[in-house]
Chain A
């Protein structure tokens, strides 16, 4: 039986902006909550199996390799469809005018709409955070004159963005071009999160992190360590590479621990939901692993700032330890379920 809420009922619920650590888990959890199923950001992140590590030397961002601490964009949104019984709608557009018209139409009907955008063209972002990254997610909650009212999960309060700027951000070209993507939750079939789905998601993440592939999971952390160990401490490009690794973790990631803290929050919630107190212990252990990521970032930053001798080999040792810690963690986690 489909218990989807009709649009008019959705529109009558006041929208609640939420500040999140990550844009995609923040946007979709807020959207699902607005559609009638209360969902935390951490649950959205964990249930979709979004935690990951990937080192992709052949995908270049401004000439530097992609280092991801989570699954690729849209994986969180799509990953929630099955476990929550979501009816989702995705629309992309060839012509910006068509995309704008459709957005206006949905907003005028009282809908809340999720968008994938570039960060660079969003004028409300601080200047120094505006890079050409096309995987940003935000919610549009209405419009006023020539401005859109935006619930951007990364910001504490709702923002405003002009029509022209938002159109540019939605139709930016390049890697992960959003093509005006707008998404909505049309309905939610379940009235809560299924504990079995949570446990299945944890198993899936553990399996992916332990995958026998060199560029994903804990092995990729080891591979990155190797790459860093081989850097020439004298070459200027080496410092740029290390800075990039840390920036992927801090700026593009959720800060401090590359999503480990967020997953720890999920495990804590899962412990209660699934009545498995053991998961709370794993949650605490992952917090510690996250703290070690912070130590790595701090060491690297000190070296880049010249407060400590630039020593890529020492950073590689820290990373290798991280790979071992995470390998043991996910093996134990998988064994415990």
Chain B
């Protein structure tokens, strides 16, 4: 890549952050150039972010409909999935899966709630409701 081709299109997922890219300058040296971002990167990052947001919104609808616990909403809202939440909380996957059911979730002990809250970076109060 030549220095003057370093993308400066802007990338809203970067929120103003400039990345360093390596490119060849006029003297033929390969040096770092701060880039405002490339649209390609914005497209694929937003695709991933939107997929996660959609999962969270679908979970929110299920919580409202009474078929899922707030834990499922928060799992996706914090960009995790079942495997990651199980690892982060140190619980078996099948247990986490059970806790995604509203009836089971409502009977969780304070200790388990605190464990999930900690893994998700929330307070117990936040964890038990939708935002």
How far, in angstroms, from A20 to B35 measured CA to CA in the complex? 12
Q: Which residues of B contact A174 (CB under 8 A)?
A: 83-84, 87-88
In chain A, residues 130-171, which have Cβ atoms closer than 8 Å to a Cβ of chain B?
130-132, 154-156, 168
- Chain A hits for B92, CB < 8 A: none
Chain B residue at minimum C-beta to C-beta distance from A22: B20
- Report B67-91 CB contacts with A as 1/0, cut-off 8 Å: 0000000000011110110011010
Any A CB within 8 A of the CB of B104: no
Query: Does B13 lie within 8 Å of A126, measured CB to CB?
Result: yes
Residues of chain B at interface, number, CB under 8 A: 45
Q: Is B18 an interface residue (CB 8 A)?
A: yes
A-B contact pairs, 26 of them (CB 8 A): A20-B32, A41-B32, A60-B83, A121-B121, A126-B14, A127-B15, A128-B12, A129-B13, A129-B14, A132-B79, A156-B34, A173-B87, A174-B87, A240-B51, A247-B45, A247-B47, A261-B30, A265-B22, A268-B29, A283-B30, A287-B30, A294-B1, A300-B40, A300-B44, A301-B40, A304-B47
**CB nearest neighbor in A for B118:** A168
Contact B29 A251 (CB under 8 A): no
Chain A nearest Cβ from B29, distance in angstroms: 7
A305 at the interface (CB under 8 A from B): yes
Q: Cβ of B39: which chain A residues have Cβ within 8 Å of it?
A: 301
Q: How would residues 37 to 57 of chain B score, 1 for a CB under 8 Å from any chain A CB and 0 otherwise? A: 011110111111101100000
Question: Which of B22, B24, B79, B88 is A130 in contact with, Cβ under 8 Å?
Answer: B79
User: Which B residues have a C-beta under 8 Å from some C-beta of A?
Assistant: 1, 7, 12-24, 29-32, 34-35, 38-41, 43-49, 51-52, 78-81, 83-84, 87-88, 90, 119, 121
* A128-B49, A131-B79, A264-B22 as given contacts; A255 in contact with B41, CB under 8 Å: yes
A297 to B42, CA, bound (A): 12
From B32, B43, B45, give the contact of A129 (CB < 8 A): B45
Whether A128 lies near B1 (C-beta < 8 A) is no
B16: nearest chain-A partner, CB-CB: A126
- Cα of A254 to Cα of B30 in the assembled complex, Å: 15
Question: A168 and B30: CB pair below 8 A?
Answer: no
**Distance A127 CA – B20 CA, assembled complex (angstroms):** 19
Q: CA A246 – CA B90 in complex, angstroms?
A: 32
Q: Which residues of A contact B23 (CB under 8 A)?
A: 261
Asked whether A83 is an interface residue with its Cβ less than 8 Å from the other chain, the reply is no
Chain B proximity of A215: nearest CB distance (Å) = 21
Residues of A with C-beta under 8 A to B18: 156
Report whether B1 and A287 are in contact in the complex, using a CB–CB cutoff of 8 Å.
yes
5 closest Cβ contacts across the A-B interface? Answer: A126-B15, A128-B13, A261-B22, A265-B30, A301-B40
**Is there a chain B Cβ closer than 8 Å to A43's Cβ?**
no
- Given A20-B32, A130-B79, 15 further pairs, Cβ under 8 A: A20-B20, A62-B81, A121-B121, A126-B17, A129-B17, A154-B17, A155-B17, A243-B47, A250-B45, A261-B23, A264-B30, A283-B30, A297-B40, A300-B44, A301-B43
Min distance, Cβ B89 to any Cβ of chain A, angstroms: 8
Contact B90 A173 (CB under 8 A): yes
Report the separation of the CA atoms of residues A151 and B78 in the bound assembly, to the nearest whole angstrom.
Answer: 26
Report the Cα distance A240→B90, complex, angstroms: 29
* A174 to B41 CA separation, bound complex (whole angstroms): 25
Contacts of A20 in B (CB 8 A): 20, 32
**Cβ–Cβ < 8 Å partners of B84 in chain A:** 132, 173-174
Residues of B within 8 A of A211 (CB): none
Rounded to whole angstroms, the CA-CA distance of A253 and B45 in the bound complex is 13
